[in-house]
Amino acid sequence: MEQQYFFWKLAYDLVSRHNFEIVHLHLQHGEVWLEKSSQGKTHIIRLLQKEFNWSNQVKADIDHINRQMEKNRRYFSGRKKEMHVIYIAQYPPVDDFTSPSTKLDFNFNIVFLSDDNKENGLDDLTRRLGLDEPLTINYKLPDAPMEYESTIEYMKQQLITYKEKQKQRMKDVFEYGKPQLTYILLMLNIIVFYFLESVGSTTSISTLIEYGAKYNPGIVKGEWWRLVSSMFLHIGVLHIAMNMLALFYLGSAVEQIYGSWRFFITYFLAGILGSGASFYFNDAVAAGASGAIFGLFGALLYFAWRYPSLFFRTMGWNLIILVGINIAFGIMVPQVDNSGHMGGLIGGFIAAQLVDLPKMSHRVYQGSALLLYATLLFSLLFSGIRSEQQVTAGEIQYLQELNEEERYEQVVSMTEEKEDIEGEWEEEWLFQRSFAYLRTGEEEQAFEDLVRAVEIDPGFAEAHYNLSLLYERRGDESNARFHKERAEELNPELQSEAPEEPASSQLNE
């Protein structure tokens, strides 16, 4: 009876006074598993009340624990785990027990709390667990068997109550809100996608730009709303299908944990920071909810930071692996806007700290998160504003598509707004403008642009070909022949071009 009292009193004190969580509770076998994370380390305690006569019985039990730990590794949080195996009995094994013969996968601390070692053993356990208050249990109650029994039953019931409260807290955490806003966002994205398909095409650069895609020259001119509007545009059916599937699952989880208004703030702040990162690091036209969706990953990682034990017992490594796969996929596929994804991931984590989890708030952390977010966003936007004379890949994509759509006057108007252009895309810019000039009959301006384009890039086959046509129209057969031969040498496919028909340049996307 004394051993039972000591066992249940120790388990009860660790839970009630030292905030350990109950992982497993077996009343009949006298076995309790507890866990607590503190200062970057996870302490796992396995309490067992049992008499062992021989050390080989102890070794067999430790082998069993080692297998259990390996099997259930994902249920325990933290990178650094320390396992405390505590045996409570009147006597230790008859033969000496030093260490288990098996290879252990965890840092094991094996303690025998026998009658001649209970006091010293509790002091050692207090030190190893880093407890603020010492573990002191007076288990010698003379001539009071009824008090023993009633107290033991009371502590058992209290531990059962604690276990039920843990389950309820877990349920409350994951069912705080309802995913109503997630469904609204899903519908809005689908409606916008259908609208764009009806007025043009979601794979058309010009349509995307006109309806709010992330377009760096537009943002430089003050169209800051593109940082938000681009979150609702998608490029093709596969793009929106993948993003909406991710939004459905991640959005539902995040909104249920955080509630609707916290989800709303986190989603949009993450999306905006993702757009800001894309603006700074990527000059191509971009669109999609991916930045905001990666922000939901960030919000769940923040949840892992605040609820490590609960996180690893539920989504845990599955989520971390999923984030890693998405990042690796983005690195391997050139078309993916990794800067927007990573900006959204970081923005989601910071935004989650800003709004914090329900029933949890820390003014200093929230203020720091707000300052950090504002600093990052301002730095990205301020640093990303380049000179309007510098040409970007996004502008070339836009001009190319406008030419394909025979909107030559618009190309001329756009390009003539800039003078003394510069940048790695300068020759492409000149070529697209020359093509529009040719179609509008302004051959002199086209000639000047093409001459400059081949000076910048002597290997520009299409520019040589079109220049040969202009030389031929001027009656300069020698230069016409030279540039035509040069064009066909660089790109044999140009031999099939119709006579007098200028070639167009296709930008590698």
pLDDT digits (tens, 9 = 90+) for 175-224: 888 999 999 999 999 999 999 999 988 988 889 999 999 988 888 888 99
Asked whether the beta carbons of 348 and 299 are under 8 A apart, the reply is yes
Q: What was the pLDDT predicted at 486?
A: 87
Q: What was the pLDDT predicted at 240?
A: 92
Question: Would you state the torsion angle of the CA atoms of residues 117, 123, 129, 130, taken in this order, to the nearest 10 degrees?
Answer: -170
**Whole-number Å distance between alpha carbons of 376 and 391:** 25
Count Cβ atoms within 10 A of the Cβ of residue 315 and give its class: 0-12 exposed, 13-18 middle, 19 or more buried: middle
Helix 260-281 × helix 363-384 angle, to 10°: 30
Residue 401 above 90 pLDDT? no
**Whole-number Å distance between alpha carbons of 263 and 182:** 9
Q: Which residue has the tokens 């300069």?
A: 476
Picking from 20, 25, 95, 103, the residue whose alpha carbon sits closest to that of residue 54 is: 95
**Is residue 22 helix, strand or coil?**
strand
How much of the chain, in percent, has pLDDT values that exceed 70? 88
Q: What was the pLDDT predicted at 117?
A: 83
Assign 3-state DSSP to the chain and report helix, strand, coil percentages, each to 5: 65, 10, 30
Residues in contact with 293: Cβ distance below 8 Å, sequence separation at least 6, in sequence order: 243, 246, 247, 250, 251, 344
Q: What was the pLDDT predicted at 376?
A: 95
Tokens describing residue 124: 């050692």
**Whole-number Å distance between alpha carbons of 37 and 42:** 4
Q: How far apart are the first and last CA of the chain?
A: 78
| Alpha-carbon 93 to chain mean position | 51
Predicted confidence band of residue 420 (pLDDT cuts 50, 70, 90): low
**pLDDT (tens digit per residue) in 314-360:** 776 677 777 777 777 666 666 678 899 999 999 999 999 999 998 88
Positive/negative CA dihedral, 85, 86, 90, 94: positive
Asked whether the beta carbons of 354 and 365 are under 8 A apart, the reply is no
Asked whether the beta carbons of 111 and 86 are under 8 A apart, the reply is yes
**Whole-number Å distance between alpha carbons of 132 and 126:** 8
| Bridge partners, residue 22, by sequence | 34
Instruction: Give the largest CA-CA distance in the chain.
Output: 124
Residues in contact with 367: Cβ distance below 8 Å, sequence separation at least 6, in sequence order: none
Mean pLDDT of all residues belonging to the chain? 84
- What is residue 20's DSSP assignment? P
487 versus 100: the higher-pLDDT residue is 487
Picking from 272, 261, 253, 262, the residue whose alpha carbon sits closest to that of residue 353 is: 262
Predicted confidence band of residue 387 (pLDDT cuts 50, 70, 90): very low
Buried b (16+ CB within 10 A) or exposed e, 172-209: ebeebbebebbeebbeebeebbeebeeeeebebbbbbb
| Bridge partners, residue 86, by sequence | 47, 111
Asked whether the beta carbons of 470 and 441 are under 8 A apart, the reply is no
Can you list the pairs that 126-130 forms with residues at least 24 positions away whose Cβ atoms lie under 8 Å? Answer: 128/82, 128/84, 129/18, 129/36, 129/43, 129/45, 129/84, 130/38, 130/39, 130/43
What is the H or E stretch that residue 469 is in? helix 461-473
Count CB atoms within 10 A of the CB of residue 326: 19
Q: Summarize the confidence of residues 61-83 as an average pLDDT.
A: 75
Question: Would you state the torsion angle of the CA atoms of residues 244, 247, 250, 256, taken in this order, to the nearest 10 degrees?
Answer: -130
| Alpha-carbon 21 to chain mean position | 28
Q: What was the pLDDT predicted at 82?
A: 84
Catalytic site positions: 290, 341
Question: Would you state the torsion angle of the CA atoms of residues 201, 207, 212, 213, taken in this order, to the nearest 10 degrees?
Answer: 80
**Whole-number Å distance between alpha carbons of 99 and 110:** 8
Predicted confidence band of residue 508 (pLDDT cuts 50, 70, 90): very low
Q: What was the pLDDT predicted at 95?
A: 75
Please, how many CA atoms are within 13 Å of residue 417, restricted to the half-sphere of its CB? Answer: 11
Count Cβ atoms within 10 A of the Cβ of residue 235 and give its class: 0-12 exposed, 13-18 middle, 19 or more buried: buried
Q: Which of 128-142, 279-293, 339-353 has the highest mean pLDDT?
A: 339-353
Predicted confidence band of residue 507 (pLDDT cuts 50, 70, 90): very low
